[in-house]
Structure 1
Amino acid sequence: MNKIGETRLTPARFFGFWAILFTLVLALTSCSDDLDVQQSYPFTVEVMPYGDKIT
């Protein structure tokens, strides 16, 4: 008997196929081309006072 073209569908292959397919679909559709650039920040930048000469 020729078993070259014969493929057995085991539960591991079945769930492995669906896991790989789900991962590929999720990876290819989860990216967005929109950039989230924030222009206003919730803090202010202040300069600390310091002496003219530090010895």
Structure 2
Amino acid sequence: MSLANHLEELQRKHGDIERELDQAMTHPSVDDLEIVTLKRRKLALKDEIEKLKANPTKH
């Protein structure tokens, strides 16, 4: 997989998690732990995206 494709896939996943998080936060029945887990996954993807953008030749 090329770097551009990998970044695109990570950004898609980040967007998917963001939408899932938005939906979870509007439903009071959603467990706080699930929201925290989604936020952590979203942040991890963002960190990986930023790392790849900062050092594209290392990946």
TM-score (normalizing by structure 2): 0.40
Which has the greater radius of gyration? 1
- Taking structure 1 as the reference length, the TM-score comes to 0.42
